[in-house]
Structure 1
Amino acid sequence: MVIIEQFFSKDEVHQYRFALKQVPWNDGKQTAMGMAADVKQNGQADANDAQVQQLANGVLAKMGTTPKLVSAALPHKIFPPCFNRYSEHETYGFHVDAAIMRLPNSQDVIRSDMSMTLFLSEPDEYQGGELVIATEFGEHRVKCQAGDAIVYPSSSLHKVTPVTQGTRIAAITWMQSLVTDQSMRQTLFQLDQTIQSLAIDSNANRQQLDNLHHVYHNLIRQFSQV
């Protein structure tokens, strides 16, 4: 799990919140598949609406220019971001995201390796509504600042706890990674973050930094699938 602080600035959050007030919303159950539909209670912005599509494209553009996200997920294909809304008493019980997702209005599919939730509501705007991700080390409860995003494996069981007061708004998307192995993605992320830290250190040895670059990119060559 990787938290990306200020994926959106506060101004961008405000612009998206204002725009999302103007778009049509549907029952979120309409987009859930299989067992997930039984535990999904929320609203989802109409993905066929032109303004919603424009907002989704804005998130996509931001994803491509966010180094920490690219480093963590190594995205190859990205599902168009969706926008969800949880009002009082709404929730999404434990579920696993579909492994294969068909891209809208296309015959192409993606394998969901990594999921991303972008929080568009401040934590004090709603009670409850935590994103809970089950891992081998126990459950992690996440409630980020508006504009922050969290990236986590799509294979994990996760849920959104019931909102007891206020409204929770977020964007969600899924990514097919260039690297299918989750443990290797984690190793590559740690290596790349180390390289990026050394790159801005004026005392770092250039030859050693070049060697790390060499190792990193050769691992990408070895483990990526395109």
Structure 2
Amino acid sequence: MLITIANVLSQEDVIELRDKLAALRFEDGRATAGWGAKLVKANQQMRDGVTARLLREEVAAKIRGHAVFDLAVRPRALTPLLFSRYGVGDAYGTHVDNPMMDGLRTDVSFTLFLSDPESDDGGELVIETPAGEDAVKLPAGHLVAYPSTTLHRVAEVTRGERLVAVGWAQSHIRDAARRELLFDLDTARRRLFDRHGKTEDFDLLAKTSANLMRMWAE
């Protein structure tokens, strides 16, 4: 399931984060790419350090605290975030993400957009699906999450600068189809509650959701 999530960061959060990132050093992004991806990766990533680690933790807490992200991803753990910057001419060719990162299995990949879409041209995240390619470019503070099993790329930036935070989650639910079923079920359950309160139908959906989690969770 590919899902876009609005307002993971507020506009105030985005502005503050961009100001902090502007004061930090970035380095060649190929340092974190697999041996095949190094051949097609051209960007910069924030250099590690105390301030960088604090920023990663702050933004990760916002992501994990978002209710829709929690429902869609069912995160067991996140890898440390990467803050990436793409200038004119930078791109990231077609690749699949590493299956293991920082000791975690990567089930879900996500990109949190930090630059305003009108501030640059190109730079779309292009995800391959059975129905064709989905090109994603979202407002600052919005996030897209998708299965880490997919081939994807970042289109070349032709104007301005693309700034994003990217990360990966190991999910309690390994299978993407099962994650989508649980997401749909819990979304329906919450809508039913909003309309009618705690009813017998709500209780039945809650029981089904809980028992499917027991059956599928790792």
TM-score by length of 2: 0.97
Is 1:216 paired with 2:209?
Answer: yes
* Native 8 Å contact 1:117 1:151 kept in 2: yes
Counterpart residue number, 1:3: 4
* Identity score, percent: 36
Counterpart of 2:52 in structure 1 is 52
| Secondary structure of residue in 1 paired with 2:36 | helix
1:64 Cα deviation from its structure 2 partner: 2.3
Map of 1:99-138 to 2, 5 A cutoff? 99-102=99-102, 109-138=103-132
What is aligned with 2:141? 147
Q: Which amino acid aligns with 1:133?
A: I
Runs of at least 5 residues in structure 1 that lack an aligned partner in the other structure: 103-108
Q: Secondary structure at the match of 2:181?
A: helix
User: CA offsets per residue over residues 52-95 of structure 1, 9 Å max, x none?
Assistant: 11110011211221110010010111101110000000000010
> What do residues 185-223 of structure 1 show as CA deviations (whole Å, max 9, x unaligned)?
11011111111222221x356111011010001000000
1:177 to 171, 178, 193: 171
In the comparison of the two structures, how many residue pairs are matched? 217
| CA shift for structure 1 position 182 | 1.1
Displacement over 3 Å in runs of 4+? none
Output the amino acid matched with 1:187. Answer: L
2: CA distance, partners of 1:161 / 1:40: 11
Over the aligned positions, Cα root-mean-square deviation in angstroms equals 0.9
**Deviation digits for residues 95-132 of structure 1 (CA, Å, limit 9, x no counterpart):** 00000112xxxxxx100000110000011010000000
The answer to which of 203-212 and 215-224 deviates more is 203-212
- Kept in 2: contact 1:123–1:146 (CA 8 A): yes
Aligned partners of 2:46, 2:159: CA distance in 1, in Å?
20
Matched letter for residue 90 of structure 1 = D
Paired position in structure 1 for 2:81: 81
For residues 165 and 63 of structure 1, what CA distance do their matches in structure 2 show? 28
Partner SS, residue 200 of structure 1? helix
CA–CA separation in structure 2 for the residues paired with 1:174 and 1:25: 20
